[in-house]
Structure 1
Amino acid sequence: MEFGPHLLLATLEGAVGAAVLALTALGLSLVFGVMRVVNVAHGEFYMLGAVVAWFVASAMSAHPAFGFMAAVLIAPAMAGLVAILADRLVLKRLHYDPEATIVATIGILYIMQQTALMTFGPEARPVAPPFNTRIPLPWLEYGENGFNLFYPWGLSTTSYKLFVIAAAAVILVSFALFLSRSRFGLIMRATQLDRETALTFGIPVERVYSLVFGLGAALAAFAAVLIVPIQQAHYLMGADPLLLSFIVVIIGGLGSLRGTVVAALLIGMSDGIISVFFSPTLAKILATLLVALVLVFRPQGLYGKKRA
């Protein structure tokens, strides 16, 4: 297969990764922006979503679509509840101190990881996609008679991968509308801008923090449910999403939805393309180099606002 078709395949794979990364990083950015908490355990909520999706899908012996639909509802809800519980029992008692919460979320990370190891096991396990029709992709070639449309062997994608991209886009647009038009979205933005003023106006800030922490974890778990039919569930699968989410948040700008989406597209697409043509290690090196450049020349990120 020639370079052009290879590039198209790599771009589609990168788009799937970017869609999932945008959802995962959005949850981390939300917690960062509103609570000023560095949630080192964010990747484990992603892992929890994948593991719960496997348990739910395995428990339902009917068509894979039923197990997937149940996992979409149950896994984010369970991850959100676990996050709210962690906030109430740990972070709230530390008064959301920045240094203390880093250590606390590292502890939460290891607790969740080892619990998954004891209950789920060390093996990577697949989840059947609800549908997975292979879709051949056409390609244009210029010949003696002008442009000709043909189908190169191996140039195809699946209906489920296209669904992942579409589902992530719908969630991102819905979340943007939720932030801008709902009452709770207004409360979240008010808490983010000035905690003390929010308290003065009677906003229950600690309750908002709990819900935000739960919502961030639910977004990560939902992203994992989408990707687990493509990548197998594993108890150590939270490390890469955590690293890439931090990179996206730094590049995009703290608390910026638009910055998160743009940075996720940039990192996800480049990661997919570079991994296909070169190596995944090179993709991570370039992403880290980009973070360094952003921190030097634009510390607030692409769409972040400078602190007064």
Structure 2
Amino acid sequence: MELGPYILLASLEGAVTAAVLALTAVGLSLVFGVMRVVNIAHGEFFMLGAVIAWYVAHSMGGHPALGFVAALVVAPLFVGAIAAAADMTILKRLDYDPERTIVATIGLLYIIQQLTLMTYGPEARPVEAPFNQRIALPWFEWGEEGFEFYFPWGLSTTSYKLAVIGAAAVVLVGVWLMMARTRIGLLMRATQADRDMALAFGIPVERVYALVFGIGAALAALAAVLIVPIQQAHYLMGADPLLLSFIVVIIGGLGSLPGTVVAAIFIGLSDGIISVFFSPTLAKILATLLVGLVLVFRPQGLFGTRTA
């Protein structure tokens, strides 16, 4: 098989990574953009979503689609509620001070991780996909008889991976519509622009913060539910999503949702292609170097705005 089909296959794998990464990073960017809080526990909310998805799917029984659909609803709501409770009981008491909230979310990270280890265990456990049909992919070339296409052996993907990409796109559009067209989105943007002015106009800023923190965690949990049939639920699986989310948010611009999505697509596709042709470690190294270049030459990120 020629190089082109391999690139296509690697790009599809990267698109799945980009879709899940965009959901996770948008949650992190939303929290920072509105609350100015760096949530170090964001990766553990991702992990918690995957573990809860396993519990729900395992307890439901029957057709895998029943447990998976239930996990899509239960896991984000449960994780979002935990995050909102953590905001009201911990971050609120710290008055959202940047330094103290970083330390607090580091502590929250270890609490969630160790509680998961004690209850779930150290094993990596799979969740069966609701559907997983193999789909052969065509490749086009210019032959002796003109433009034609064929199906190279081994060039295929699954229906579930394509569904992950589509589902992530729908959710991201929903987040944009929420921020741009709804009253709660207006309150979030007003709080983001000027917290004191929002308080003066009677906006319940602390409730908005709890909601935003919960939504950010719920998006990470939703991303984990989508990816866990491809990967496996494990109590240490939150580290990579956290690292990649920070890379994406820094490159795209802190608090910029469009920049976060664009950066997630770029990082996800490059990670998929580099991982296939070289190694996943090299992909992480290059992404980290790109972050260093962005911080040196454009500290506000590619889509961020420079603050005075």
Instruction: Pick the TM interval, shorter chain.
Output: over 0.9
AA paired with 2:169?
A
SS at match of 2:147: strand
Distance 2:151 2:256 in 1: 41
Cα deviation 1:118-169 (Å, max 9, x = unaligned): 1111010000000001000011233322233211111000000000000000
Distance 1:241 1:262 in 2: 17
Distance 1:305 1:148 in 2: 47
The residue correspondences of 1:182-201 to structure 2 (distance < 5 A) are: 182-201=182-201
Matching residue of 1:8: 8
Matching residue of 1:42: 42
Matching residue of 2:160: 160
Q: Percent identity among equivalent residues?
A: 76
**Displacement, 1:257?**
1.2
1:220 matches 2:220: yes
SS at match of 1:148: strand
The residue correspondences of 1:294-305 to structure 2 (distance < 5 A) are: 294-305=294-305
AA paired with 1:171?
V
Matching residue of 2:21: 21
Matching residue of 1:211: 211
SS at match of 2:232: coil
Distance 1:243 1:36 in 2: 18
Distance 2:88 2:258 in 1: 30
Give the length in aligned residue pairs. 308
AA paired with 1:218?
A
Matching residue of 1:179: 179
Matching residue of 1:306: 306
**Displacement, 1:208?**
0.7
Distance 1:206 1:271 in 2: 38
Structure 1 residues not aligned, in runs of 5+: none
The residue correspondences of 1:1-308 to structure 2 (distance < 5 A) are: 1-308=1-308
Cα deviation 1:212-249 (Å, max 9, x = unaligned): 00000000000000000000110000000000000010
SS at match of 2:93: helix
Distance 2:199 2:143 in 1: 69
Distance 2:219 2:49 in 1: 9
AA paired with 1:22?
A
SS at match of 1:93: coil
Distance 2:137 2:150 in 1: 9
Distance 1:198 1:268 in 2: 37
Distance 2:292 2:151 in 1: 42
AA paired with 2:301?
G
AA paired with 1:33?
G
AA paired with 2:96?
Y
**Displacement, 1:53?**
0.2
Distance 2:268 2:158 in 1: 19
Using structure 2 for the length normalisation, give the TM-score: 0.99
SS at match of 1:140: strand
**Displacement, 1:22?**
0.3
Mean Cα displacement is larger for which, 249-258 or 69-78?
A: 249-258
Distance 2:250 2:148 in 1: 44
Cα deviation 1:260-303 (Å, max 9, x = unaligned): 11000010000000000001111011101111111111111111
Distance 1:148 1:88 in 2: 61
SS at match of 1:135: strand
SS at match of 1:58: helix
SS at match of 2:92: helix
AA paired with 1:159?
S
Distance 1:237 1:78 in 2: 18
| CA-based RMSD | 0.7
**Displacement, 1:201?**
0.5
**Displacement, 1:32?**
0.6
Structure 2 residues not aligned, in runs of 5+: none
Mean Cα displacement is larger for which, 137-146 or 6-15?
A: 137-146
